[in-house]
């Protein structure tokens, strides 16, 4: 009797085993396959109308955005997204490396967790707060102090004066990129710092043992070792800047023009969608907004997949060879 | 002798160079801290003046009139984020368990994990537009539950990836010991892996919730906004973040004040989640 009972219970367990496996596998399948497919296909389906009307290249290369005449082109928003992301990353990346050096190599040991927590906490602030602060506090300061100052400084410099040509309003490329850069600093600094901390103490000590100065150890030991982490952090932050909406929603002016100077109003893909989605009164208008969303999706997804499957694979190999 | 002096000089140069670069890194750290403190101080000082009991307890006054509160937004925010958590957490943990416990040696599972990892950085506004297309459009109007779905979709990959990573840290010898006793896989997962990784997973969940609490973009086209307090998730629902967005852009001084107050509460809320997560991690067993 006892043996039969045991057999029955083992059989029950085996059945539960199958069920648990199937349940877990289906959630993984949903998340890893179905979810991206749903996103891609529904964006594609919704943007078909605009694709048929303007064509893919026709939409991407046209800079007309005229809801009244129902002519839509994505160039200003795409260029705006790329420019603001580029400037923000150009500001943030060196700062993050500096912050990481400061936290890992310079700050006294008891203060390390304090700085680390501070940086992480600041990364937890919702992006709409950055946006609102930028709009009410930073933008007036930029318009009244910083931008006139820059104009005065660069007035007589050839070529560069064009960068700050125009009326300083504080609602422009410069302010938007600045707020974006502030927003991605904590995010990226955390990743870079973690990568720095992965460097084996032994390697660093070997450097010091050879008589290297602190900077030489950082430059020749820590940074090469942490390079994949730095690149990874940079790519993730670029991805975040690409898709950020609320931090810049108030600051671009949402004007569909390709900015010629840092003080021009402009727009990004996300800002266009956030501002115009609920106002889109025709199918073609809405479809064009979906097309923009699809372009953003492709841009950010490509960036990540590229980094994952190409850069990382390659760097990981190098990492394994050089890094013991 | 000449050579010796040269060496000494080059050491001096290298030391000065090192000190200079380290000073630069100190400046960059100062630069980062400068912005972040500026923001925090503004949010606290401006928000604090306008916080009052009415802010939480009263419905909003008609546009342009002074007074009233943001009860509708608080209620909506809590309902929408809790529903999103209820949907997102179990599915996210389940997928994370699968990635580590079953999929470790399978290429296909590794592919699924990589895709999920990429989804972590999916722009949140895209999730909003997609949920609009698949839920809001068929129903015909904005409604609160669609906002929860959007937020749940946002937090799913975060929770799945953290769970998978935490489970990787559980030593295989623990699992093998359980298998040796004749345990089935689901028993090993339930009684060994999940128990060992409990705190890590909890941290992941808290961070996931903290992330969606501050989200605005996916809610703009899903739960949208409502000027009245509602408990019905099939109606449009106000949230703190969307209310801040609308009030900050609005023309009234009173709206701006309320937006600052709401920002402070939102910031405190997310920071509280964050500190809670830190506490869970650091607590000794």
Interface pTM, i.e. ipTM:
0.89
Q: What is the pLDDT of residue B278?
A: 82
Distance from CA of A166 to the nearest CA of B (A): 24
State whether B197 and B247 are in the same domain: yes
Which pTM value belongs to this model?
0.90
Q: What is the pLDDT of residue A195?
A: 87
pLDDT for A8 beyond 90 = no
Q: Determine which of A28-32, A206-210, B177-181, B228-232 has the lowest per-residue pLDDT on average.
A: B228-232
State whether B226 and B149 are in the same domain: yes
- Cβ-nearest to A308 among B15, B118, B125: B118
**Residues of chain B contacting A101 with CB distance shorter than 8 Å:** 22, 25
> Which one is predicted more confidently, A198 or A294?
A294
- Domain harbouring B237, CATH code: 1.10.3720.10
Q: What is the pLDDT of residue B66?
A: 78
State whether B43 and B148 are in the same domain: no
Give the A:B interface size as CB pairs under 8 Å: 259
Contact across the interface for B184 and A290, Cβ inside 8 Å:
no
| Range of the structural domain that residue B32 is part of | 2-49
Contact across the interface for A137 and B28, Cβ inside 8 Å:
no
Q: What is the pLDDT of residue B283?
A: 73
Contact across the interface for A124 and B270, Cβ inside 8 Å:
yes
A38 Cβ under 8 Å from any chain B Cβ: yes
B143 Cβ under 8 Å from any chain A Cβ: no
pLDDT tens-place string over residues B221-244: 999 888 888 888 899 999 999 999
Distance from CA of A238 to the nearest CA of B (A): 10
B 158-177 → A contacts, CB under 8 A: 160
Q: What is the pLDDT of residue A316?
A: 63
pLDDT for A314 beyond 80 = no
List of long-range contacts for B232-236, beta carbons under 8 Å, 24+ apart: B232/B144, B233/B79, B233/B80, B233/B83, B233/B143, B233/B144, B233/B145, B233/B148, B234/B143, B234/B144, B234/B145, B235/B143, B235/B144, B236/B141, B236/B142, B236/B143, B236/B144
pLDDT tens-place string over residues A232-262: 888 888 988 999 999 999 999 889 999 988 8
Burial B180-207 (b: 16+ CB within 10 A, else e): eeebbbbbbbeebbbebbeebbebbbbb
Q: What is the pLDDT of residue A315?
A: 61
Q: What is the pLDDT of residue A322?
A: 47
Fold (CATH) for A57-322: MetI-like fold (1.10.3720)
Confidence of residue A323 (pLDDT cuts 50, 70, 90): very low
Q: Which residues of chain B have a pLDDT value below 70?
A: 1-3, 284-285
Q: What is the pLDDT of residue B107?
A: 87
Contact across the interface for B42 and A133, Cβ inside 8 Å:
yes
Q: What whole-number distance in Å separates Cα of residue A168 and Cα of residue A144?
A: 8
Q: What is the pLDDT of residue B124?
A: 92
State whether B70 and B27 are in the same domain: no
**Residues of chain B contacting A105 with CB distance shorter than 8 Å:** 22, 25
State whether B74 and B18 are in the same domain: no
Confidence of residue A120 (pLDDT cuts 50, 70, 90): confident
Please state, rounded to an integer, the average pLDDT across all residues of chain A. Answer: 88
State whether B216 and B244 are in the same domain: yes
Domain boundaries of chain A, sorted by first residue: 2-52, 57-322
Q: What is the pLDDT of residue A309?
A: 67
pLDDT > 90 in chain A, percent: 51
A127 Cβ under 8 Å from any chain B Cβ: yes
pLDDT tens-place string over residues A51-95: 999 999 999 999 999 988 989 999 999 999 999 999 999 999 999
A103 CB-near residues (< 8 Å, 6+ apart): A112, A115, A116, A119, A189, A193, B29
Contact across the interface for A130 and B39, Cβ inside 8 Å:
yes
State whether B34 and B89 are in the same domain: no
Contact across the interface for A243 and B122, Cβ inside 8 Å:
yes
> Which one is predicted more confidently, B278 or A40?
A40
A168 CB-near residues (< 8 Å, 6+ apart): A142, A143, A144, A147, A148, A151, A263
Contact across the interface for A215 and B18, Cβ inside 8 Å:
yes
Kindly write down the DSSP assignment for every residue of B148-182, as one continuous string: HHHHHHHHHHHHHHHHHHHHHTS-HHHHHHHHHTT
**Residues of chain A contacting B156 with CB distance shorter than 8 Å:** 31, 35
State whether B176 and B118 are in the same domain: yes
Confidence of residue A319 (pLDDT cuts 50, 70, 90): low
B 2-61 → A contacts, CB under 8 A: 14-15, 17-18, 21-22, 24-29, 31-33, 35-36, 38-40, 42-43
The total domain count for chain B is: 2
State whether B203 and B107 are in the same domain: yes
pLDDT for A266 beyond 50 = yes
> Which one is predicted more confidently, A123 or A293?
A293
pLDDT for A182 beyond 60 = yes
**Residues of chain A contacting B31 with CB distance shorter than 8 Å:** 95, 98
């Amino acid at each position: 009797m006892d043996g039969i009972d045991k057999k029955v219970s083992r059989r029950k367990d085996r059945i539960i085993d199958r069920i648990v496996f199937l349940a877990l596998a289906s959630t993984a399948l949903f998340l890893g396959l179905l979810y991206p497919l749903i996103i891609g296909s529904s964006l594609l389906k919704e943007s078909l109308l605009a694709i048929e009307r303007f064509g893919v290249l026709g939409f991407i290369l046209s800079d007309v955005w005229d809801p009244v005449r129902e002519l839509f082109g994505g160039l200003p928003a795409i260029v705006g997204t790329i420019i603001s992301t580029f400037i923000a990353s150009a500001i943030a990346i060196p700062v993050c490396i500096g912050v990481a050096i400061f936290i890992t190599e310079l700050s006294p040991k008891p203060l390390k967790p304090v700085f680390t927590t501070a940086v992480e906490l600041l990364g937890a602030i919702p992006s709409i707060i950055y946006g609102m602060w930028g709009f009410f506090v930073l933008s007036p300061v930029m318009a009244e102090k910083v931008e006139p100052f820059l104009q005065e400084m660069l007035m007589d410099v050839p070529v560069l004066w064009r960068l700050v040509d125009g009326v300083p309003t504080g609602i422009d490329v410069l302010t938007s990129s600045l707020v974006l850069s502030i927003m991605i600093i904590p995010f990226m600094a955390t990743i870079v710092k973690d990568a720095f901390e992965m460097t084996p103490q032994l390697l660093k000590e070997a450097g010091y043992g050879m008589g290297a100065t602190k900077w030489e150890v950082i430059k020749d030991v820590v940074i090469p070792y942490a390079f994949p982490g730095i690149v990874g952090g940079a790519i993730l932050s670029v991805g975040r800047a690409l898709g950020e909406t609320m931090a810049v929603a108030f600051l671009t002016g949402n004007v569909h023009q390709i900015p010629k100077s840092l003080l021009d109003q402009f727009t990004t893909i996300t800002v266009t969608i956030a501002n115009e989605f609920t106002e889109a009164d025709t199918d073609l208008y809405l479809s064009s907004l979906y097309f923009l969303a699809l372009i953003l999706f492709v841009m950010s997804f490509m960036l990540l997949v590229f980094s994952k499957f190409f850069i990382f694979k390659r760097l990981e190999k190098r990492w394994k060879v050089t890094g013991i | 002798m000449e050579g010796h002096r040269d060496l000494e000089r080059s050491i001096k140069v290298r030391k000065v160079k090192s000190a200079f670069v380290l000073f630069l890194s100190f400046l960059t750290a100062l630069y980062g801290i400068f912005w972040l403190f500026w923001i925090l101080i503004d949010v606290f000082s401006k928000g604090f003046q306008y916080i009052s009991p009415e802010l939480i307890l009263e419905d909003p006054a008609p546009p342009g009139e002074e007074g009233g509160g943001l009860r509708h937004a608080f209620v909506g925010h809590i309902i929408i984020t809790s529903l999103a958590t209820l949907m997102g957490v179990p599915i996210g943990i389940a997928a994370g368990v699968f990635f580590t416990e079953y999929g470790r040696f399978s290429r296909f599972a590794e592919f699924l994990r990589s895709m999920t990892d990429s989804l972590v950085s999916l722009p949140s506004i895209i999730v909003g537009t997609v949920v609009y297309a698949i839920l809001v459009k068929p129903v015909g109007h904005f409604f609160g539950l669609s906002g929860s779905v959007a937020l749940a979709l946002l937090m799913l990959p975060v929770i799945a990836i953290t769970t998978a990573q935490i489970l990787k840290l559980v030593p295989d010898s623990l699992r093998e010991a359980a298998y040796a006793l004749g345990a089935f896989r689901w028993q090993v997962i339930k009684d060994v892996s999940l128990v060992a990784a409990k705190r890590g997973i909890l941290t992941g969940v808290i961070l996931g919730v903290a992330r969606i609490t501050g989200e605005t973009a996916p809610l703009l086209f899903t739960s949208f906004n409502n000027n009245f307090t509602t408990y019905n998730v099939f109606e449009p629902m106000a949230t703190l973040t969307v209310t801040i967005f609308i009030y900050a852009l609005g023309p009234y001084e009173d709206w701006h004040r309320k937006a600052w107050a709401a920002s402070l509460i939102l910031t405190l809320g997310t920071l509280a989640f964050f500190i809670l997560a830190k506490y869970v991690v650091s607590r000794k067993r």
